[in-house]
Amino acid sequence: MQKEGKGKEEILQILENKLKGDFSYETGYILGSMCTTPLDFGKEVYMKYLDKNLGDPGLFKATADLENELIAEIGELFNGKNIIGSITTGGSEANIVAMRIAKKVRPDIKNPEIIVPASAHMSFEKGADLMGVRVLKANLKDNFELDMEHFESLITKNTCGVVGVAGTTSLGLVDPIEKIGRLIEDKNIFLHVDAAFGGFVLPFLKELGHDIPPWDFRVHSVCSITADPHKMGLGIIPSGGFFLNDRSILHHAGFEIPYLAGGGFKHFHIVGTRPGGTVIAFWAIMKYLGMEGFKKIIKQCMDNTNYLAKRIAEIDGLKVAAKSVMNVLGITTESGESICELDDEFRKRKWMLGKFTEFNLIRVVLMPHVLRDHLDRFIEDLSNIVKKLDIS
């Protein structure tokens, strides 16, 4: 560390230079991220309240109350009543919290197992590693739908939890949550829905008239949901969300930290100190946008998704991997040829997409920062790459 401090201007200049290598959302090159730049008003609110610490809700009681209000409001959006939960650092933390609860509520199972679709996010593997739970993966069919027969065959007396995804990471598809619910009825198995991406898409798509099968607390076996403000909620990075339909679980599965100034309280977070600013910012974003504001944003994203799907269909040798339900689109080759080289070429031209080798697809996420002219530039490069690689 240097002896004397530097001037602010100089530091800002150094930072500007050092951070030049990062990608930025405005350029449109970020085509494979499920995060986006937070809403400006959210940033404003966050800056004002970034010293609030929800790790000690006794000190920041009003912020804690606001979080509960926010959770209840989002719970209602997900068709639940008296939903409790918490804003987390992201979908990974929320999923790990759900896995821990699924394990905790079944102390009778010595070797607990959780069944997830093969399309489930890596966070379930992380959770399994951390807690000594086995994760079993249910196969997908050729059309990327969940193979329900295989899913059912994995359920045994060791199953403490099952997971359905509402907005898969690779393709934005929605698992048949009602069918999963039927499989575990009366079996004392915890059903968690990972809607980290879809949580702030599906309710608005439904309002826009899309046919969306029940995926949320309308399915009465659903115990908890992950849904992330920092994805399609346009919240501050990082902010995820965990939503639970049974308050009593907190009493036997909650941690307690007795020494805090505000006194002991039960919680299920993995972290201790956690930001109140992100919570307050998302409360403000929900109030500011309302249903109509979110619908407008989702409609623009879906229009862009349909536009890109149409343009890809015009390119010989390529096809969309599956019809998009939400604003995620998978590109694959018509012949089944590997998509890896295509992704390498994109990176050379600065386009940053997601590559899913296990499904041989590259993924475009049509986030709100992706605009029509970015897509036109992308399609131009894509056509050139297809010619260069002689894909047919």
Interface ranges with ligand PLP (CB under 6 A): 34, 90-92, 95, 121, 123, 165, 167, 169, 194, 196-197, 228, 240
Quote the CA–CA distance of 295 and 368 in Å, as a whole number: 12
**Nearest-5° angle of CA 260, CA 264, CA 267?**
105
Nearer to ligand PLP, 92 or 333 (CB): 92
Task: Identify whether the C-beta of residue 327 lies closer than 8 Å to the C-beta of residue 301.
Answer: yes
In whole angstroms, give the CA distance from residue 318 to residue 47.
45
Tell me the closest approach of the beta carbon of residue 117 to ligand PLP, in angstroms.
10
**Residues with Cβ < 8 Å from 197, sequence gap 6 or more?**
34, 91, 167, 169, 172, 228, 231, 232, 326, 328
Q: Which is nearer to ligand PLP, 56 or 93 (CB)?
A: 93
Which residues, at least 6 apart from 384, have a Cβ–Cβ distance to it below 8 Å?
Answer: none
Amino acid symbol at 41: F
The smaller minimum CB distance to ligand PLP, of residues 195 and 320, is found at 195
Minimum CB–partner distance for residue 138 and ligand PLP (Å): 15
Residue 93: exposure state from Cβ atoms within 10 A (0-12, 13-18, ≥19): buried
The distance of closest approach from Cβ of residue 197 to ligand PLP in the complex, given in angstroms and rounded to an integer, is 5
CB of 229 to ligand PLP, least distance (A): 10
Closest separation in Å from C-beta 323 to ligand PLP:
19
Residue 182 corresponds to which amino acid? R
Interstrand relation of 328-333 and 361-365 (parallel, antiparallel or unpaired): antiparallel
Q: How far is the CB of 49 from ligand PLP (least distance, A)?
A: 21
User: Quick one: 244 or 386, whose CB is closer to ligand PLP?
Assistant: 244
Q: Is the peptide bond before 238 cis (omega within 30 degrees of 0)?
A: yes
Q: Which is closer to ligand PLP, CB of 168 or CB of 221?
A: 168
Cα dihedral 351, 357, 359, 360 sign: positive
Instruction: State the Cα–Cα distance between residues 165 and 67, nearest whole angstrom.
Output: 25
Q: In whole angstroms, how close is the CB of 95 to ligand PLP at the nearest point? A: 6
Which residue lies nearer to ligand PLP by CB, 181 or 240?
240
Number of helices (H), then strands (E), in the chain? 12, 13
- CA–CA separation, 48 and 110 (whole Å): 48
Nearer to ligand PLP, 363 or 374 (CB): 363
Residue closer to ligand PLP, measured from CB, 35 or 284: 35
Q: How far is the CB of 295 from ligand PLP (least distance, A)?
A: 22
